[in-house]
Amino acid sequence: MGSKLYHRKFLTVINVAIAVFLMVGIMNGRTMARDLIKIPEAEKIIITVVADNYTDAVRPDYKIAKRPVVATSPLDVAMHAEHGLAYHVETIVNNSAHSFLFDFGTDYYGVKKNLDLLKINLNSLEAIALSHDHFDHQGTLVELLGDERNGIPRGIPFFVGRQTFIDKYYRLPDGRVVSELPLKREEVERSRVVKIVEIENPTQIVPGAYLTGTIEMVMPFEKPNPACLIKKGDQFVQDGLIGEQAVILNVKGKGLVVISACAHRGIVNTVKYAQKITGIRKVHAIIGGFHLTGAEPEIIQKTIAEIKAINPDYIIPIHCTGFETVSAFAREMPDQFILNTVGTRYIITE
């Protein structure tokens, strides 16, 4: 009798333990699901490359890439190119249009020329966002905000990542250290145009578009550039670019579109993190700088192998990706590769 009672008690304890285990699992599952960001599906997105390193006034349209069109003169497509990057992004969600700028390029007059040629209306902006605080991504911003003719709506948010307003430096190959000409918070605030919003976690910019927040680094071969520096006390130390942002969009029926800037924290890390925080595996397009200029061939090949495994429908390496890497993507992913030129609009619909 005693042994049967003991056996029943033992089974009861086991059953309770199993029930608790299952409940914890269910609760954890709910927590994980709740932690995933739910990017509204866009019926349409348009990504316009306002500034980039390469221009070609006679390159034809190709797949989702629509090139600038001559309206009255060949000068209509004479885009300014520079070592800089700027995007204008539009989303259509539930038949409602939204737009923002992501990065701002280097030379104000060149970028302003491109905005005018592309007939981009800054009056309709709902936000602006900065990927990271290097001169080739924010060099025009203060002038852009200060020129009242641009009509940027007052009070819109200006999204930045961690450590944006601190001094940043770059070590040249000859060992000299030069400033990356970082933004000054007071200069941005003095414009009285935007409201600075510092973020660390995934954050919506406009409906249908999110910033990543701090990107996790999981690929052992992807490391921040050791030439990128910040100062601690009197010492220069490596900048881990912990505040660098990428943009994630979700196109109805097609999957994620990931827009990087320089991908100092790794383009593979960036895309994998976008997949992780959204729970969406399918990647439709990857566009941006991959920061592989001058990279070792082994690193380039590992990057391409990982991108092949992700299997995006389109791969569009630009800005700081580097000639060798761009050429390698064109050679090894010919059906997915698109060569970018300044002023190209990438139009993606459901």
Q: Model's pTM, two decimal places?
A: 0.90
Task: List Cβ neighbours of 68 (8 Å cut-off, separation of 6 or more).
Answer: 57, 76, 77, 79, 117, 118, 343, 344
Which tens digit of pLDDT belongs to each residue from 142-196?
999 999 899 999 999 999 999 999 999 999 999 999 999 999 999 999 999 999 9
* pLDDT (mean) for 10-27: 44
Task: Decide which of 81 and 224 is more confident.
Answer: 81
- List Cα–Cα distances, 345 to 163, 182, 215, in angstroms: 31, 29, 26
**Residue 201 in this model has a pLDDT that exceeds 70:** yes
Q: Taking a C-beta distance cutoff of 8 angstroms, is the pair 337, 330 a contact?
A: yes
Average pLDDT over residues 214-219: 97
**238-283 pLDDT, tens per residue?**
999 999 999 999 999 999 999 999 999 999 999 999 999 999 999 9
Mean pLDDT of the chain, nearest integer: 92
Residue in the structure block whose two tokens are 């520079």: 82
105, 86 in Cβ contact below 8 A? yes
**Band (8; pLDDT cuts 50, 70, 90):** low
Q: For 274-317, what is each residue's pLDDT tens digit?
A: 999 999 999 999 999 999 999 999 999 999 999 999 999 999 99
Local confidence band at 26 (pLDDT 50, 70, 90 cut-offs): very low
Residue 13 has a pLDDT of 44
Q: Output the furthest CA–CA distance in the chain (Å, rounded).
A: 100
Average pLDDT over every residue of 320-349: 98
Q: 23: pLDDT confidence band, cut at 50, 70 and 90? A: very low
Give the model's pLDDT for residue 6: 47
Cβ(195)–Cβ(184) below 8 Å: no
Q: What angle do CA 289, 138, 53 make, to 5 degrees?
A: 40
Say how far residue 310 (Cα) sits from the centre of its chain: 17
